[in-house]
C-alpha cells in the first residue's frame, strides 16, 4: 500500500479519531502503510465500525477518492502530521483526518470562530462583516461554517479586511453547501482554506453539522456569536468551545429581538459581552496593529454629515425596526417625506427595509 492510498483509507475510516490513529501508528512502528495491516489491527482497540472498514475497505470508494484527490488538489491532513491544527488535536475525539483545499498555513495562525443566524437582520450581517474585517487586520484567521447569513458575512468581512478565513463544511469538499456560496468558497480557497472531516461525495446531512461545529470550536481560540435565536445551532458551537476551554463571546441585541435571545442566554451563562472588536482582542491578549487602527479611524470619519431632518428621522428610528406610520408619529413629518428620506438612507447603507414594511437602522 502506498502512502497516499494509506492516507485515503484512514481518512475514510468511520469513527476513527486522532487517538486511534496514534495507537495504530504506534503498533505499526510509525509505518503508515502498515497501519491497517491485520497484525496491527489485532493489537489496537478500535470502534467496531472502524475495525470492520479497515478489514474490508470499500475499494471502489477508495479508487474514486484517489482520483478526486489528484484532480482537485485536495490534501489530507492526518492527526499525526505536524501541520494538523494543534488546538484541534487537543480536543476530545479530534478526527483522525481532515480534507483541505487552500492554505495549510492558515490553520497554524490564531483563529477566531464567528457564527450566528442563517437569517440575520441587516444590522447583524453588517456587524459580522465589520468585526471580521477588524479581526483580519489584527492577524486573526476568521473561522466559520460557510452557511448563509452570519457565517457568510464573517467570511466576507475577513476577505475584505485583507486577511485569511477558514470555512469548515458539513459535507465533502466536492459538494459545496449551500450552493449559493460557491463563489465565496472559491475566494476562501484562494485566501484561506476549505476544511472538512467528511470524505468526498458525503451529502450535507443534518447530523453532520454538530460534528462540523465541534471542529470550528476546536480550531479556534474562542467563539463569537453575533446573532442567534434561543435554540440556534450556533449555541452548540458556543457550548463546544466552552467545553474545550476556549473563550465564548456574544454580541447583545434588543430585548425584543428573537435573534438576540441566544446571545443573551450565553451572556447570562458567563459568555463575555462584546460591544466592539477590541473587547475580543483584549480578552485574547491581541493588539490591533497600528495600520488597522488608522484604517478604522478613517472609516469612522467617512460617513457624510446628514441634514437635521435626516438625523431626526434616524434618532426616531433608533435601533428597533419601525414602520413609516410609526416614524410619522414620532417625527411629525409628512408620510411622503419619511418614505423618500428612508429611500435615500437605504441607498446610503444607513437603513435597510424589512418584511412587513418595516425599516431598521444599520450601525
**Same CATH fold assignment for domains 105-299 and 308-361:** no
SS3 label, residue 102: strand
Crossing angle between the packed helical segments 59-72 and 3-12, to the nearest 10 degrees: 110
| pLDDT given for residue 291 in this prediction | 52
Which DSSP category does 315 fall into?
A: H
Residue ranges of the chain whose pLDDT lies below 70: 1, 287-304
Name the strand (E) or helix (H) holding 361: strand 358-361
Adjacent-strand bridge partners of 222: 112, 247
Q: How many other CB atoms sit within 10 Å of the CB of residue 118? A: 17
| pLDDT given for residue 301 in this prediction | 43
Cα-flanking dihedrals φ and ψ of residue 143, to 5°? -115, 130
| pLDDT given for residue 279 in this prediction | 94
| pLDDT given for residue 256 in this prediction | 85
Give dist(CA 323, CA 173) in Å, integer. Answer: 43
Give dist(CA 138, CA 301) in Å, integer. Answer: 20
Q: Where are the domains of the chain?
A: 3-75, 105-299, 308-361
Q: State how far the alpha carbon of 287 is from the alpha carbons of 105, 143, 290, in Å.
A: 21, 19, 9
Q: Domain 308-361: which CATH class? A: mainly alpha
CATH architecture of 105-299: 3-Layer(aba) Sandwich (3.40)
| pLDDT given for residue 360 in this prediction | 87
Amino acid at each position: 500500500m502506498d502512502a497516499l492510498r494509506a492516507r485515503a483509507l484512514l481518512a475514510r475510516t468511520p469513527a476513527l479519531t486522532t487517538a486511534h490513529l496514534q495507537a495504530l501508528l504506534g503498533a505499526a512502528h510509525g509505518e503508515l502503510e502498515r497501519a491497517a495491516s491485520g497484525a496491527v489491527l489485532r493489537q489496537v482497540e478500535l470502534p467496531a465500525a472502524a475495525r470492520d472498514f479497515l478489514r474490508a475497505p470499500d475499494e471502489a470508494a477508495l479508487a474514486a477518492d484517489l482520483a478526486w484527490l489528484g484532480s482537485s488538489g485536495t490534501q489530507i491532513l492526518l492527526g499525526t502530521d505536524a501541520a494538523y491544527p494543534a488546538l484541534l488535536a487537543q480536543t476530545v475525539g479530534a478526527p483522525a483526518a481532515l480534507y483541505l483545499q487552500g492554505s495549510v498555513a492558515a490553520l497554524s495562525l490564531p483563529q477566531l470562530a464567528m457564527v450566528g443566524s442563517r437569517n440575520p437582520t441587516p444590522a447583524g450581517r453588517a456587524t459580522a462583516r465589520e468585526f471580521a474585517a477588524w479581526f483580519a487586520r489584527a492577524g486573526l484567521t476568521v473561522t466559520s461554517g460557510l452557511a448563509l447569513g452570519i457565517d457568510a458575512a464573517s467570511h466576507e468581512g475577513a476577505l475584505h479586511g485583507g486577511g485569511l478565513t477558514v470555512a469548515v463544511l458539513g459535507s465533502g469538499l466536492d459538494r459545496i453547501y449551500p450552493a449559493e456560496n460557491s463563489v465565496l468558497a472559491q475566494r476562501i480557497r484562494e485566501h484561506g482554506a476549505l476544511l472538512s472531516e467528511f470524505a468526498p461525495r458525503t451529502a450535507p446531512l443534518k447530523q453532520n453539522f454538530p460534528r462540523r461545529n465541534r471542529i470550528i470550536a476546536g480550531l479556534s481560540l474562542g467563539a463569537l456569536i453575533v446573532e442567534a435565536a434561543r435554540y440556534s445551532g450556533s449555541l452548540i458551537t458556543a457550548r463546544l468551545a466552552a467545553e474545550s476551554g476556549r473563550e465564548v463571546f456574544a454580541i447583545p441585541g434588543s430585548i425584543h429581538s428573537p435573534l438576540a435571545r441566544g446571545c443573551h442566554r450565553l451572556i447570562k451563562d458567563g459568555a463575555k459581552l462584546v460591544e466592539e472588536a477590541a473587547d475580543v482582542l483584549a480578552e485574547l491578549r491581541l493588539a490591533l496593529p497600528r495600520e488597522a487602527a488608522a484604517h478604522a479611524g478613517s472609516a469612522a470619519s467617512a460617513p457624510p454629515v446628514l441634514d437635521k431632518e435626516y438625523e431626526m428621522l434616524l434618532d426616531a428610528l433608533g435601533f428597533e425596526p419601525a414602520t413609516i406610520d410609526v416614524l410619522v408619529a414620532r417625527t411629525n413629518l409628512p408620510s411622503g417625506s419619511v418614505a423618500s428620506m428612508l429611500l435615500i438612507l437605504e441607498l446610503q447603507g444607513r437603513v435597510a427595509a424589512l418584511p412587513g414594511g418595516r425599516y431598521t437602522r444599520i450601525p
